[in-house]
Structure 1
Amino acid sequence: MGRIAVAVILLAAAVGGAFLWYTAERAYYEPVAFTPGAEIRLVPLAGDQPEAILVADVTGTDAASSPIKFRACFTTPLSLAMLTETYRNYPDAEPLIAPSDFDCFDAKAIGRALESGEALAFLSEPNIHPGVDRVVAVFPDGRAYAWHQLNAQFKD
């Protein structure tokens, strides 16, 4: 009788674990369709309205189940010097882990690059959802990444 109970418990744990993994990694996520010419925008230093920047090879994923599930990978020909002189930086950028099948986005590597100063973060869309900003990180070679993160409204 004890073996049957253990087998039922193990089976329930395995099914529950598989369900949790599926909902966190696969369910709800869909590719993002970007509008040509307005794929990625940044907020200029002299203004509050985000402006489209030059980008290529944009891929993204998002889920309607949460405003912070958005991730995107792309490239830009714009230099870090030009971006820094033109657009608002984002000092508290913290990239969030992406689903494992969206392998172009490595949040840990992006975070390390932001901490070391190798990459720079910019404000893309303030309050894209209430309490959530879109952030863009750009590397010197033109690789760039975007994600949503909670802003000061929900952080403390």
Structure 2
Amino acid sequence: MAGRIVVGGILMIALVAGVVMYWLQVYGFYDEISDTGSDAVQLTSLVSGEAEPILYDAFRAIDSDSSPIRYRACFTTTMSLPMLTETYVGLDRAAPRVAPGWFDCFDAESIGEMLEDGRALAFLGEANIEFGIDRIVAITEDGRGYVWHDINECGDKSYDGSPLGDDCPEREAE
């Protein structure tokens, strides 16, 4: 009888711990981000190489202090894809990261399909928004936009211990 109580207690603790870990991963560490005004969505200019604000509306975003790649945002824009491609740095390959299910405006699978078949184009939002992390922006033909953070080549090298090389920026002291 005592063994059943101990086993039941262990199972209850494991169940509670599992529920808490799930909640923390999906809900607990994320915060909704408010629109900062006119500069929440930026793209890198072909001319200046600097991130510049673009026209946008209906901005929603989430972020987390626990990881630099948890940022996700959705917005709409009236700017056309032809104009954007002539003005801002485009990306050949971009793969959106999955967002929590409750952040329903960001569907990584759908965004990825639109990028693959050309219904959306990816742009560099800002390089090294944090060391080794780039902000990526994808915009669809109908003006829906999505933003996420991705690890760049310098970040990959830094995290796997490879030498950084001359093309990587200086890492700020922590």
TM-score, normalised via structure 2 length: 0.84
Q: CA deviation at 1:72?
A: 0.5
User: Which deviates more, 132-141 or 100-109?
Assistant: 100-109
Moved over 4 A (4+): none
**Is 2:120–2:138's contact at 8 Å kept on the other side of the alignment?**
yes
Long gaps (5+) in structure 1: none
1:155: which partner in 2? Answer: 156
Long gaps (5+) in structure 2: 158-174
| 1:4-19 superposed matches below 5 A | 4-19=5-20
| 1:42-57 superposed matches below 5 A | 42-57=43-58
Q: CA deviation at 1:9?
A: 3.0
Q: CA deviation at 1:133?
A: 0.5
SS at the partner of 2:90?
coil
Q: Deviations along 1:47-68, whole A, 9 cap, x unmatched?
A: 2111110000001111111111
Percent identical among aligned pairs is: 45
User: Which deviates more, 22-31 or 129-138?
Assistant: 22-31
**Structure 1 vs Structure 2 CA RMSD:** 1.4
Flag the structure with larger Rg: 2
TM-score, normalised via structure 1 length: 0.93
Q: CA deviation at 1:136?
A: 0.5
SS at the partner of 1:37?
coil
Which amino acid counterpart does residue 40 of structure 2 have in structure 1? Answer: E
Q: CA deviation at 1:2?
A: 4.0
| 1:7-156 superposed matches below 5 A | 7-155=8-156
SS at the partner of 2:135?
strand
Distance 1:114 1:10 in 2: 45
SS at the partner of 2:105?
coil
SS at the partner of 1:51?
strand
User: Which deviates more, 131-140 or 17-26?
Assistant: 17-26
Distance 2:92 2:10 in 1: 47
Which amino acid counterpart does residue 79 of structure 2 have in structure 1? Answer: L
